[in-house]
Amino acid sequence: MSTTIRPLVIGHRGASGYRPEHTRAAYNLAFTLGADAVEPDIVATRDGVLVLRHENEISGTTNVADHPEFADRRTSKTIDGTVMSGWFTEDFTWEELSTLRARERLPEVRQAGTTHNDSEPLLRLSDLLDLVDQHPEAQRRQLQVVAEIKHATYFASIGLPLDELFAREMTGWATADNLIVESFEQSVLHGIRDRGVPGKLVFLLESTGAPSDLVARFGSRARSFADHLTADGLAQLAREVDGISVDKKMLMLKDLAGNLTGTNDLVDRAHAAGLLVFCWTLRAENRFLPKNLRSSKQPEQFGDWLGEFRIIMDSGLDGVFADQPDLAVTARG
């Protein structure tokens, strides 16, 4: 990793605790607040433009429902085994998507974020790369991008190969020091590496279920995420990727009442296998904290975020994704 400071603080979709995620304001603020890197979620348009949205379904993060000219685009689809209804990026050209504006994804806990609703357009991956290069912090330190490739098997099935589109976009920009690529599907990570894109590869793991690309190939015989975290599974992963990234609850030890008491040995086991370890997502609000670290019953209020962040960081992991990157920098310090 290009920095000697651990853990790497990654602005989760920018500074999404303060601004609507995946907006220029969120990404700019993340670096200003001290984030080492920012994380874009990457999906595609009908004409093969890579855009930054949490999901390819965009009704919850844009004002698309307010555009009568797009009313007939509303539909239902099965994405990675889940039925979803709404508007999907792959049914729009970039020119059409560029007329939309971003909205706060979690308005019930981030009312301040809603004050920025409809003020910023959506971004392409290329827009973010320009932002990183031009940010004032880039003159002082190495800024990084941790790119998450979303729903690659699904997009490939409709003729939008994300590994190919991503490799094309990163040509001339990516280096071994400024890029990490992550996905819940190893096949797209390998495709990106095979296309010569530099940078580290990180495999995302859920606490339940199995990778979508393996389910598509093997059905009920697909190796589960849990299988990948056994001793043999970690050893195999170390031959295939540079690191793993897990839900923070997969590191936590809790008592029967749901109180956080410490962390388990997953970080140590993964390090012993030769893997970097990242976790997601550090968030300050009570809604996202263990019971003993909540300040009140109000989900939107900040709880003892410092307590949780430090317990997780004390596990020795290599990077954390944070919605409030300034708080993660404070906890690290």
Per-residue pLDDT tens over the stretch 264-286: 999 999 999 999 999 999 999 99
Q: State how far the Cα of 84 lies from the Cα of 79, in Å rounded to an integer.
A: 7
Per-residue pLDDT tens over the stretch 7-39: 999 999 999 999 999 999 999 999 999 999 999
CA 76, chain centre distance (Å): 24
Per-residue pLDDT tens over the stretch 161-171: 999 999 999 99
Domains and CATH numbers, the chain: 8-56+123-332 (3.20.20.190)
The pLDDT confidence band at residue 6, using thresholds 50, 70 and 90, is confident
Give the pLDDT score at 3. 42
| Mean pLDDT on 135-143 | 97
| Mean pLDDT on 182-192 | 98
pLDDT at 4 exceeding the cut of 80: no
Higher pLDDT, 4 or 3: 4
Which residues make Cβ contacts (< 8 Å) with residue 221, sequence separation at least 6? none
Give DSSP secondary structure letters for 68-93.
GGGGGG-EEEEETTEEEEE-BGGGS-
**Count of positions (residues) in the chain:** 333
